[in-house]
Amino acid sequence: MTDESIHGTRDARGHYAPNRHLKIAPLYPPKLREVWAWLPSYFLPWNIIFAASAVVYWLWFIPPVEVMQTLAPGWILRLYVVNAIAVALFYGAFEARLYMSRAQEGRFKFNPRFPGDIKSKQFWFKSQNVENVLRTFLSGVTIWTLSAALMLWAYANTWGNWLSFHDAPVYLFMVALLVSFLHQAHFYAIHRLIHLPWLYKHVHSIHHKSVNPSPWSSLAMHPAEHVLYFASVFYHVILPSHPMIALYQLHKAGFGAIPGHIGFDKIEIGDDVTIDAHAYGHYLHHKYFEVNYGDGLVPFDKLFGTFHDGSPQADAAMRERLKTLRAAKA
Ligand SMILES: [Zn+2]
Ligand SMILES: [Zn+2]
């Protein structure tokens, strides 16, 4: 087991904060040495998994083009089942290890409490987990699947600018590299939008009920947020692209919602081996609401003054900013 105190500190209430402060990607402008050091974290561990899942889908689970030319319930339902099983396995693995068997107990957990231990009237059946699981499968996986089906239907009918890997390998590789940037820019834009008071109250507040997020919080959203969230796949119907990369875009949203909601800074995978969960930035969003709308890959938070790197200085700056905002509203 790894000693968490080497990497961070706990405050009087037992909340854990890592010592290292968050940074935006070193691309604005790019600094060669820093980009080189940062590059592995762009691919590992997450983006490789999401991209590989798209390849697996494309090779084994996406039906032939003739089938997809018609929006028929059969193949779409099968795709729902594949997505639901994949989500159950992927999300379930984090839930089972970190929250059910509690393999690393509370080590590296930001909030010392486990949502499963707490009953709260604001959730369906008084349970954060039960409501979040239901929202994930009822509307999350459903709207994910329908978004995929619409994209694949467009592809099968050659609506859009579809290219083959044979004809444009370098271009398509570049598009694949841009998937994460596109995801973050899209998410930042819709996320700012649904923080507008009316939309927050009626739509996004559902997601924010998980102040102490756990894996099943990832896709616990209002259906309208699911529609906006998964709409990133349609950039690939407009821009020249390939359906497998469009699937990667969807998987970046669907499976990629997990890292920000793991609730742990590091995942122990061996006696002294941990992997960085990349969870702290979005955890701070769930804790403080008005910071870190994106994750720093695209520098919008930095540009618009909403970046919180986890430091006491960023904390003070956030409080000052919110005070000014409140004063302006009063
Ligand atoms: Zn969230
Ligand atoms: Zn939010």
Q: List the end-to-end C-alpha distance of the chain, in Å, as a whole number.
A: 51
Q: How far is the CA of 215 from the centre of ligand 1 (A)?
A: 10
Q: How far is the CA of 188 from the centre of ligand 1 (A)?
A: 12
Q: How far is the CA of 286 from the centre of ligand 2 (A)?
A: 7
- Flag whether pLDDT at 1 surpasses 90: no
Q: CB neighbours (10 Å) of residue 195? A: 18
Q: Tell me, what DSSP letter sits at residue 162?
A: B
At 29 the pLDDT is 93
Q: How far is the CA of 283 from the centre of ligand 1 (A)?
A: 7
As a whole number of angstroms, the distance between CA 231 and CA 187 comes to 10
**What does the pLDDT average to over 11-32?**
93
Q: How far is the CA of 293 from the centre of ligand 2 (A)?
A: 7
Alpha helices, H only, the chain: 32-43, 46-56, 65-68, 73-94, 128-135, 141-156, 169-194, 197-199, 205-208, 223-230, 235-238, 243-254, 280-288, 300-303, 312-329
Ligand located closest to 132 CA: 1
Ligand located closest to 195 CA: 2
Whether residue 256 is contained in a domain is answered as yes
Q: How far is the CA of 1 from the centre of ligand 1 (A)?
A: 28
Q: How far is the CA of 139 from the centre of ligand 2 (A)?
A: 18
- Flag whether pLDDT at 259 surpasses 80: yes
Whether residue 73 is contained in a domain is answered as yes
pLDDT-based confidence at residue 103 (cuts at 50, 70, 90): very high
**Complete DSSP assignment for 93-136:** HHIIIIIIS-TTTTTTBSSSS-GGG---TTSGGG-HHHHHHHHI
Q: How far is the CA of 252 from the centre of ligand 1 (A)?
A: 14
pLDDT-based confidence at residue 325 (cuts at 50, 70, 90): confident
pLDDT-based confidence at residue 330 (cuts at 50, 70, 90): confident
pLDDT-based confidence at residue 157 (cuts at 50, 70, 90): very high
* 186-207: pLDDT as tens digits: 999 999 999 999 999 999 999 9
Q: How far is the CA of 145 from the centre of ligand 2 (A)?
A: 23
Q: Which domain holds residue 145?
A: 4-9+31-292
At 272 the pLDDT is 84
As a whole number of angstroms, the distance between CA 152 and CA 159 comes to 10
Q: How far is the CA of 222 from the centre of ligand 2 (A)?
A: 12
Ligand located closest to 194 CA: 2
3-class state of residue 321 by DSSP: helix
Whether residue 300 is contained in a domain is answered as no
Whether residue 160 is contained in a domain is answered as yes
> Using an 8 Å Cβ cutoff, are 142 and 150 in contact?
no
For the chain, what is the domain count?
1
Whether residue 330 is contained in a domain is answered as no
Q: How far is the CA of 218 from the centre of ligand 1 (A)?
A: 6
Ligand located closest to 213 CA: 1
Whether residue 116 is contained in a domain is answered as yes
At 320 the pLDDT is 93
* 43-77: pLDDT as tens digits: 998 999 999 999 999 999 999 999 999 999 999 99
**What does the pLDDT average to over 266-286?**
91
Q: How far is the CA of 191 from the centre of ligand 1 (A)?
A: 10
Mean pLDDT of all residues in the chain? Answer: 95
Percent pLDDT > 90 in the chain is 92
- Flag whether pLDDT at 258 surpasses 80: yes
**What does the pLDDT average to over 125-149?**
98
Whether residue 312 is contained in a domain is answered as no
3-class state of residue 17 by DSSP: strand
At 298 the pLDDT is 95
CA-nearest of 180, 197, 184, 179 to 292 is: 184
At 80 the pLDDT is 98
- Flag whether pLDDT at 270 surpasses 90: no
**Cα torsion 289, 107, 90, 24: sign:** positive
Q: CB neighbours (10 Å) of residue 73? A: 9
Whether residue 286 is contained in a domain is answered as yes
Q: How far is the CA of 192 from the centre of ligand 1 (A)?
A: 13
* Maximum pairwise Cα distance, the chain: 62
**What does the pLDDT average to over 146-166?**
97
At 195 the pLDDT is 97
